[in-house]
Amino acid sequence: MPVPIATDAQFAAPKGTYAFVSLGCPKNLVDSERMLGLLRQTGYRLVAEPAGADFVVINTCGFIAPARAESLGAIDEMLQLKADGRLGGVIVAGCLAERDRAELLAQRPEIDALVGVFAREEIVGVADRLIGNVREQRTLFCPAPIRSLPDGDRLRITPRHFAYLKISEGCDRHCTFCAIPKLRGTHVTKPLEQVLQEAQQLADGGVRELILVAQDTPYYGIDLYGAPRLRELLEQLERIEGLDWIRLMYFYPRHVDPKLIETLADSGKILPYLDMPLQHINDTVLRRMGRQVSRGETETLLAQLRSRIPGLALRTTMLVGFPGETEDQFEELLEFVCQQQFHRLGVFAYSREPGTASDRMKGHVPAQVSEERRRRLMEAQQQIAFARNADQVGRVQRVILDWPVPGEQNVWVGRSEADAPDVDAAVYVTGTEDPLCAGDIVPCEIVAWRDYDLIGVAVGEPI
């Protein structure tokens, strides 16, 4: 679903009005916030609805087939508004524009402009040409940068108290099923000083929970400094006043040394939560995926992390139905998930992605078999999650409050330390007699659970 974005009524006489649709992952969301900030700084006014606007910007996702379908649906909806005379123009940006640039314009010639992933800094010029009815240049694509793009001065979409911070761009992994390196280039580290400056700006703006994102967070620094520097970055982020929670996403299971684990374990701000996309556990499948990690290495790392970080919540994703995956290899994965008892698990059925190495492999698994394996793995994880939730009843957890439940008095939707926004579960919190506020971190006693979510009662003052 498109991310809801608040209006910006700062300019009494704007250069033009526009709506914005942001799709895809948190890294794409940071790009959206940067484009929103640039448009705002130069006098464009954001409106809540595209109907009646001078133009709309759609920041698309092109990662997998369902994401592309969602992006195309949003484009077609906006083009219909334009055809009906209710919208001035349509600008398509982001990963789908980068991936399918020629096909998009050929199939949908009514699109006014295409803006590639790395041309986002030029969004104002694109808007100016559209408003000025200059039609000569309809596409704008830039090569992948050799230096990281700035992500400061954003107009943020997320609630005031949490934000995503991109610490690098691109990826050097080249997994055989993934098109990210083609869409976003090779890995480029954002300099440590720049990350700290952006983090300080976010903290000054009221952010309490900082969520670090990249394609591979432990890889941070290798290209720029010659060695991983995530540990040093985390130690300096901890010193920023105002930040209370630091959450790590996309924690690829390589380049994790004992010193980094010690930093994670000893921190007062880094949450005992890691999002570690494993994708599979069978060594043959891992090699065909190009994951550069074995089952033995994965199990050793998981044991080290859990032994040193009490209460560690691990989130992972698995990919089933990869070309050549046998029933025995899937059963090995199923047994591994049951053994490891992950807090959070997402499962995807493999889909063919044009241009990737796996698309050219032999032994493609029928779609119905892949979907059946996805269902079986999710059913196993559901039992794990439900048992874990039942075990939480009577315990006290710290919960950050995101927004009030509509129509309820002092009832809030929040998240525990084990829950990242959008991808994990929620904690529904009933407040005390004193009113609560968005961004409060509240100790809550868990009194019940419903499916994947918990229900709690605030038992202390907000932190």
Residues 6+ apart with CB under 8 A from 344: 313, 314, 315, 316, 385, 418, 419, 423, 424, 425
Residue 119 in 3-state DSSP?
A: helix
Domain assignment present for residue 6? The answer is no
Residue from 64, 66, 47 nearest 4 by CA:
47
Neighbour tally for 388: CB within 10 Å: 18
Same domain, 135 and 238: no
Instruction: Tell me what pLDDT residue 13 has.
Output: 62
> Strand, helix or coil at 439?
coil
Do 134 and 189 belong to one domain?
A: no
Q: What is the pLDDT of residue 180?
A: 87
pLDDT tens for 371-422 read 999 999 999 999 999 999 999 999 999 999 999 999 888 899 999 999 999 9
CA atoms of 461 and 457, how far apart (whole Å): 12
Look at residue 121 and tell me if it is in a domain.
yes
Do residues 248 and 365 both lie within one domain? yes
Residues of the chain with pLDDT under 50: 1-4, 6, 9-11
**Cα(393)–Cα(239) distance, integer angstroms:** 34
One domain, residues 202 and 59:
no
Query: CA 337 to CA 340: how far, in whole Å?
Result: 5
Domain assignment present for residue 26? The answer is yes
Is 439 inside any structural domain?
Answer: yes
pLDDT at 6: 47
Domain edge (last residue) among 344, 360, 391: 391
State whether 301 and 372 are in the same domain: yes
Per the domain annotation, does 296 fall within a domain?
Answer: yes
Query: Do 411 and 316 share a structural domain?
Result: no
Domain boundary residue, one of 391, 410, 434: 391
- CA-based end-to-end distance of the chain: 32
Quote the CA–CA distance of 116 and 377 in Å, as a whole number.
36
Count of other CB atoms within 10 angstroms of residue 23: 23
Q: Strands 411-416 and 396-404, how do they pair?
A: antiparallel
150 occurs within a structural domain: no
- Please tell me the number of Cα atoms within 13 Å of 349 on its side-chain side: 16
Q: How far apart are CA 11 and CA 40, in angstroms?
A: 9
3-state secondary structure 162-210: EEEEECEECCCCCCCCCCHHHHHCCCEECCHHHHHHHHHHHHHCCCCEE
pLDDT for res 4: 41
CATH number at residue 420: 2.40.50.140
Closest CA to 96 of 123, 121, 112, 74: 74
Phi, psi (deg, nearest 5) at residue 381:
-65, -35
Helix (H, G, I), strand (E, B) or coil at 212: strand
Residue 397 DSSP symbol: E
Domain shared by 126 and 35, yes or no = yes
Looking at the fold, whether 346 and 232 belong to one and the same domain comes out as: yes
Q: Which helix (H) or strand (E) holds 283?
A: helix 283-289
Query: Strand 441-450 vs strand 396-404: parallel, antiparallel, or unpaired?
Result: antiparallel
User: Both 231 and 372 in a single domain?
Assistant: yes
Domain boundaries, position 119:
16-140
Q: What separation in angstroms does the CA of 46 have from each of 53, 204, 256?
A: 9, 23, 42
pLDDT at residue 135 in the model: 80
Q: How many domains does the chain have?
A: 3
User: Do 62 and 175 have their domain in common?
Assistant: no
Q: How far apart are CA 215 and CA 252, in angstroms?
A: 8
pLDDT in tens, 193-227: 999 999 999 999 999 999 999 999 999 999 999 99
Do residue 381 and residue 300 come from a single domain?
A: yes
